[in-house]
Amino acid sequence: MRQSAGTADKTQAQELYDNIRAQTWRQVKLGERPTYTWDDAGVRWLDERSYKATIQKDMEHLTWLQPYFRGKPLIEMNRAFIMEVLEIKKKETSPASANRVLALVRAVLRMCIEWDWLDNAPKLRQYPENKRRVRWITTDEATRLLRELPDHLRDMAHFSLATGLRQSNMSGLLWEQVDLTRKVAWIHPDQSKNRKAIGVSLTDSAVAIIRRQMGKNPTYIFTYNGQSIHQVNTKAWRNALKRAGISNFRWHDLRHTWASWHVQAGTPISRLQEMGGWESVEMVRRYAHLAPEHLAGDSANIEGALSSLGTNLSQPPFLIAQKKG
């Protein structure tokens, strides 16, 4: 293997050459592990994880880390150094954003162990995050919003409320992925977030919305001026929210609204998980509190014990004592 010394100084070049020869000899004769860097790990990670739906997000995180981790030997990636860098991310953004980057660093270092590039990896604890409420809107609010949206966004928002599809899956939905006779649609594994196929049962409203798109584009269902739509968080969307009197609401919250409506209508959590394509039931339980009615029977189990406490609790203690005397 040929390698540039990166210097015109013959003495420095010879020194580098001797070091490389010595390192190679130790690797071959003594079985020493080569010195891999974070750059090596990042490149291999992207190469082996290119199938991930979130690979673009990984690339964004790695790009942010690069000024701090560039050229760092893996054996020097200790907890103190990593957390010092993540503190910068936390201050720039939020604990939640820092945790997303931390999760990637942890995953890459674990793979370095599998690749036999490291013996062990530092234990990295996530930052505490504030639990955010599920943001959803009522049917009255949804009606106001749909009235304010331009036609192409109105149909897409209405379809999201009818199916719960993520924005990327909806905007990329092809005519070949729907069967209006059977009233079904499907998301291929390479299109879904968790790389598992999703079957979508189309309501009458969803079918009607799709039929309105016929003849606009031979490939994509949802379009604007005949072209596929890739951006929905537009000025038109934001202005419609203002006119409808709805604040703190993102496009993705349409999916939260769909799930919330289902729970309140009695759809079991396990069925909702399958319909929404969530990987684990824990991700769906955040909607369970919206319909506590199913717990009514269990709540009544202690009613007998409560009633036995008596009616004297409403009377002042001294009156109860006088009756006893």
Integer CA distances (angstroms), 179 to 164, 175, 182, 215, in order: 18, 8, 6, 16
Strands (DSSP E) contained in the chain are: 178-179, 184-187, 198-201, 223-224, 227-228
Q: Report how far residue 282's alpha carbon sits from residue 284's, in angstroms, rounded to the nearest whole number.
A: 5
Query: Of 72, 193, 216, 286, which is the active-site residue?
Result: 193
DSSP of 79-131: HHHHHHHHHHHHHHS-HHHHHHHHHHHHHHHHHHHHTTS-S-----PPPP-PP
Q: Is 287 among the residues known to form the active site?
A: yes
Query: Of 117, 251, 258, 287, which is the active-site residue?
Result: 287
Q: Is 242 among the residues known to form the active site?
A: no
Q: Is 252 among the residues known to form the active site?
A: yes
Query: Of 61, 89, 166, 262, which is the active-site residue?
Result: 166
Query: Of 255, 256, 261, 262, which is the active-site residue?
Result: 255
Element (H, E) at 25: helix 10-29
What torsion, rounded to 10 degrees, do the Cα atoms 174, 176, 178, 180 define?
120
Q: Is 224 among the residues known to form the active site?
A: no
* Sign of the CA dihedral running 65, 69, 75, 79: negative
Query: Of 106, 252, 285, 286, which is the active-site residue?
Result: 252
Q: Report how far residue 113's alpha carbon sits from residue 127's, in angstroms, rounded to the nearest whole number.
A: 24
Matching residue, tokens 């020097």 = 76
Q: Is 132 among the residues known to form the active site?
A: no
Q: Report how far residue 288's alpha carbon sits from residue 223's, in angstroms, rounded to the nearest whole number.
A: 35
Q: Is 144 among the residues known to form the active site?
A: no
Q: Report how far residue 174's alpha carbon sits from residue 223's, in angstroms, rounded to the nearest whole number.
A: 11
- The residues annotated with a catalytic role in the active site are 166, 193, 252, 255, 278, 287
